[in-house]
Amino acid sequence: MDSIDLSIIDDDLVLNQLGEPELRAEADCIAQDLRHMLREKGYAFSMIGERSQVKLATLTTQVEIEMENDIRIYPGTAKVALVGEALNCSARTLNNEAIEVTL
């Protein structure tokens, strides 16, 4: 399954020297999609400043489930950790490519 998307950095479309949009493919595309999903659903925002370990564990599990729901992610490989104020997510694609997303 091929994944292709427009490259977006800092909420802006990335253009090449000709002014055309750059593309992301495969693992880069999937990682970008996961990053956008995490931001759009507010998971990172919900975790920052949360002191309850139970709530953090619940949110971490919810993020892992959301990642696993992506049909391009190999089941059982999604891992999420909150390190300081950074949300680190990793997984493997069906093509066995590693994905890491940090928010």
Q: Which domain holds residue 69?
A: 26-102
**Number of domains into which the chain is organized:** 1
Could you give the C-alpha distances from 86 to 6, 11, 34, in angstroms and in order? 25, 18, 15
Q: Which has the higher per-residue pLDDT, 90 or 81?
A: 90
Query: Do the domain assignments include residue 43?
Result: yes
Query: Do the domain assignments include residue 14?
Result: no
Residue 3 has pLDDT above 80, yes or no: no
Query: Do the domain assignments include residue 66?
Result: yes
Residue 90 has pLDDT above 90, yes or no: yes
Query: Do the domain assignments include residue 4?
Result: no
Query: Do the domain assignments include residue 7?
Result: no
Positions of E strands within 10-97 = 12-13, 23-25, 79-83, 86-92
Q: Bridge-partner residues for 91, per DSSP? A: 99
d(CA 98, CA 38): 18
Residue 55 has pLDDT above 70, yes or no: yes
Residue 1 has pLDDT above 60, yes or no: no
Phi, psi of 59 (to 5 degrees): -65, -40
Residue 10 has pLDDT above 60, yes or no: yes
